[in-house]
């Protein structure tokens, strides 16, 4: 929509506000073309178009990726390959905050705090990301006269990551133009030194591994892997972890009961068990207490401020690998000359010693570092089915789908098994998710609702909500003690789906092809935290049209805030 259209039409009122007989929404522009502000707002909500037009954040990346390898046949059946890869990224970021004022007159006392910026400023950030990886792999292959095959792979891998950054900022630039936004273009250069900062982060990974596969003719196949992984993200107590895996498969295609059935083309059953280590999702130095500068303190009787340094995070020298252990049983089959393909899997996936940061009491005085907080199990069934038709030479198509049923359950929460509260949503007043043994990870936790108070008399009679009145939400006093507190909170939703699914379609006609892929989930609950119920002048969802307006109008919570007034 053009600026002129926005300027000439001052009736851009949402249907919700019109239905509620509220004043029209403030137009984006004033008649003279300047941005306007809303007299209804006095918080961190600002004119969105002005906010967009005054946002200048440009990030430029230059990247170099190189790789080299060499391969050598040591013996007839033994090959050695070495690969080295290098990746370098240089990123430059320019963030400019221009000066602006939406006030009607200079120093307009009615303008909201977020609708003016007295001084412009500039931030420049230079980032450098570099990593290299060196892999050395030896492969041995042996074909036996009996038809059996043996393959052994042994390797060594090293990986190093490094991040460096340098930043600088200045305010009071001589111009409000993004084209002239340079750090040296500041008017208070002599009075104020530039603010600057910088840092570095490093991590390394080292792994040795061996894998062996043995095919017993075309009927049986077996495989086994063992690897020893080490990461600098863990201290010397638990820097290395050993992770094995085994698998086997039985190809039944050659069996008489399969060969005699003209509908079955291929049939195989398989089973596997294995472990993998995970060090993602934690910081590079969570195992130790980092000491940072700039923590000033007062010393002596005259309370003089002194520069100091100290730790800001707790240390965890016993931090260890997160281990993912999975058991799998499966069937692969083809039917009707390969037209129908089926894959069926049953799995149990146990994640042990999960890595995460959890809140700690404020009296500790430090921020929490990562720790091994919990173990959980995902178990379920996965099914894939596909139909392929190639009967015509110039036309073919295939259609298929997959579905997975998964159950999630927390199996351990460490010493004491204390539940963990997470998911603090602005305006909710408390954490909205809970993790405890025997329940899904981070299920939604809160007060159960039971309709709307229709009259003031019914609200007054409910002693558990002493401040309630007609039109307020009724919250269930679960233990019947006449008080609404944390003991009355229950599971109100599960973020994990009952099942996930996918659908794919592909068709080809001569040189023309078309494909379609869809995916989704069913049964997972969502926590709606997108609205600010603590502000009366924000836009409301369309459900506000069905709000409670008097006795008998509705008993559905609608868009009423679901937080007890007595707990706000």
Per-residue pLDDT reduced to its tens digit, 253-306? 999 999 899 899 999 999 999 999 999 878 899 899 888 887 888 877 778 888
The pLDDT of residue 3 is above 50: no
The pLDDT of residue 544 is above 90: no
- pLDDT value at position 43? 67
The pLDDT of residue 9 is above 70: no
Mean pLDDT for the stretch of residues 363-374: 82
Mean pLDDT for the stretch of residues 463-475: 91
pLDDT tier, 379 (very low <50, low <70, confident <90, very high otherwise): very high
- pLDDT value at position 191? 57
Mean pLDDT of all residues in the chain? 87
Across 27-41, 263-277, 355-369, the highest mean pLDDT is recorded for 263-277
Across 172-186, 320-334, 351-365, the highest mean pLDDT is recorded for 320-334
pLDDT tier, 40 (very low <50, low <70, confident <90, very high otherwise): confident
pTM of the full structure: 0.81
The pLDDT of residue 414 is above 70: yes
Residue 132: Cβ within 10 Å count: 15
- pLDDT value at position 29? 92
The pLDDT of residue 384 is above 70: yes
Report the C-alpha gap between 51 and 41 in whole angstroms. Answer: 15
Report the C-alpha gap between 191 and 182 in whole angstroms. Answer: 17
Please compute Rg for the chain using Cα positions.
32
- pLDDT value at position 253? 94
Mean pLDDT for the stretch of residues 375-395: 93
Report the C-alpha gap between 568 and 557 in whole angstroms. Answer: 18
The pLDDT of residue 2 is above 50: no
- pLDDT value at position 408? 95
Mean pLDDT for the stretch of residues 319-341: 95
- For 413, residues 6+ apart whose C-beta sits below 8 A from its C-beta are 373, 374, 419, 420, 435, 436, 437
The pLDDT of residue 421 is above 80: yes
- pLDDT value at position 534? 67
In this structure, of 216-220, 390-394, 429-433, 453-457, the range with the lowest mean pLDDT score is 429-433
In this structure, of 73-82, 296-305, 328-337, 476-485, the range with the lowest mean pLDDT score is 296-305
In this structure, of 228-237, 380-389, 457-466, the range with the lowest mean pLDDT score is 457-466
Query: What SS3 state is found at 560?
Result: coil
Mean pLDDT for the stretch of residues 422-446: 85
- pLDDT value at position 323? 96
- Under a CB-based contact definition with an 8 Å cutoff, are residues 81 and 71 in contact? yes
Output b/e per residue, 446-465; b: 16+ Cβ within 10 A. bbeeeebbbeeeebeebebb
Residue in 70, 69, 65 with CA at minimum distance from that of residue 90: 65
> CA geometry: angle at 144 spanning 142 and 146, to 5°?
155
The pLDDT of residue 541 is above 80: no
Report the C-alpha gap between 138 and 67 in whole angstroms. Answer: 19
The pLDDT of residue 566 is above 60: no
The pLDDT of residue 224 is above 80: yes
pLDDT tier, 425 (very low <50, low <70, confident <90, very high otherwise): confident
Q: Please write the tens of the pLDDT for every residue from 97-115.
A: 999 999 988 888 888 888 9
- pLDDT value at position 405? 96
- pLDDT value at position 12? 39
Q: Which residue has the tokens 């570099």?
A: 130
- pLDDT value at position 543? 79
Residue 381: Cβ within 10 Å count: 15
Mean pLDDT for the stretch of residues 483-509: 94
% of the chain surpassing 70 pLDDT: 90
In this structure, of 71-75, 185-189, 519-523, 560-564, the range with the lowest mean pLDDT score is 560-564
Residue in 24, 15, 163, 103 with CA at minimum distance from that of residue 540: 15
The pLDDT of residue 22 is above 50: no
- pLDDT value at position 540? 74
- pLDDT value at position 17? 41
Residue 408: Cβ within 10 Å count: 19
- For 62, residues 6+ apart whose C-beta sits below 8 A from its C-beta are 89, 90, 91
The pLDDT of residue 13 is above 50: no
Mean pLDDT for the stretch of residues 114-143: 95
The pLDDT of residue 319 is above 80: yes
Mean pLDDT for the stretch of residues 13-32: 60
pLDDT tier, 533 (very low <50, low <70, confident <90, very high otherwise): low
């Amino acid at each position: 929509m053009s600026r002129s259209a926005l300027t000439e039409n001052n009736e851009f009122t949402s249907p919700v506000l019109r239905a509620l007989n509220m004043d029209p929404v403030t137009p984006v522009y004033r008649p003279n073309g300047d941005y306007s502000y809303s007299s209804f707002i006095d918080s961190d909500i600002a004119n969105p178009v002005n906010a967009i037009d005054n946002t200048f954040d440009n990030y430029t990346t230059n990247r170099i990726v190189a790789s080299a390898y060499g391969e050598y046949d040591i013996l007839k059946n033994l090959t050695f390959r070495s690969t080295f890869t290098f990746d370098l990224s240089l990123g430059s970021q320019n963030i400019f905050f221009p000066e602006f004022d939406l006030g009607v007159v200079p120093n307009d006392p009615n303008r909201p705090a977020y609708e003016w910026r007295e001084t412009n400023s500039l931030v420049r950030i230079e980032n450098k990301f570099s990593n290299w990886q060196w892999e050395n792999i030896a492969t041995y292959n042996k074909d036996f006269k009996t038809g059996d095959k043996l393959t052994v792979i042994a390797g060594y891998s090293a990986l190093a990551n490094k991040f460096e950054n340098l930043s600088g900022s200045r305010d009071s630039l001589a111009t409000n133009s993004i084209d002239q936004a340079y750090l040296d273009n500041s008017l208070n250069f002599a009075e104020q030194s530039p603010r600057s900062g910088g840092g570095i982060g490093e991590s390394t990974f080292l792994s040795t591994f061996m894998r062996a596969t043995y095919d017993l003719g075309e009927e049986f196949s077996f495989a086994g892997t063992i690897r020893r992984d080490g990461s600098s993200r863990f201290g010397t107590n638990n820097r290395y972890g050993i992770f094995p895996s085994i698998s086997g498969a039985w190809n039944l295609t050659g069996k008489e009961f399969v060969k005699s059935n003209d509908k079955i083309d291929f049939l195989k059953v398989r089973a596997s068990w294995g472990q993998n280590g995970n060090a993602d999702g934690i910081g590079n130095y969570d195992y130790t207490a980092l000491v940072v500068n700039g923590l000033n303190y007062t010393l002596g009787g005259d309370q003089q401020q002194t520069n100091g340094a100290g730790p800001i995070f707790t240390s965890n020298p016993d931090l260890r690998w997160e281990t993912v252990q999975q058991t799998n049983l499966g069937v692969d089959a083809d039917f009707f000359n390969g037209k129908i393909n089926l894959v069926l899997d049953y799995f149990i996936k146990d994640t042990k010693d999960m890595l995460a940061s959890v809140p700690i009491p404020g009296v500790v005085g430090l921020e929490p570092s990562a720790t091994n907080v919990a173990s959980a199990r995902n178990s379920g069934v996965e099914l894939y089915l596909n139909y392929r038709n190639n009967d015509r030479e110039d036309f073919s198509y295939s259609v298929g789908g997959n579905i997975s049923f998964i159950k999630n359950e927390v199996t351990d929460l460490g010493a004491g098994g204390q539940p963990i509260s997470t998911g603090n949503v602005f305006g909710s007043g408390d954490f909205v998710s809970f993790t405890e043994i025997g329940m899904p990870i981070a299920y939604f936790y809160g007060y159960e609702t039971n309709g709307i108070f229709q009259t003031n008399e019914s609200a007054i009679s409910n002693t558990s909500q002493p401040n309630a009145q007609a039109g307020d939400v009724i919250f269930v006093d679960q233990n019947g003690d006449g008080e609404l507190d944390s003991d009355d909170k229950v599971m109100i939703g599960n973020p994990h789906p009952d099942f996930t699914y996918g659908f794919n379609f592909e068709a080809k006609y001569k040189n023309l092809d078309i494909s379609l892929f869809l995916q989704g989930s069913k049964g997972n609950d969502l926590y709606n935290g997108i609205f600010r119920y603590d502000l009366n002048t924000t836009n409301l969802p369309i459900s506000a049209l069905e709000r409670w307006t008097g006795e008998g109008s509705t008993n559905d919570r609608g868009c009423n805030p679901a937080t007890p007034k007595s707990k706000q």
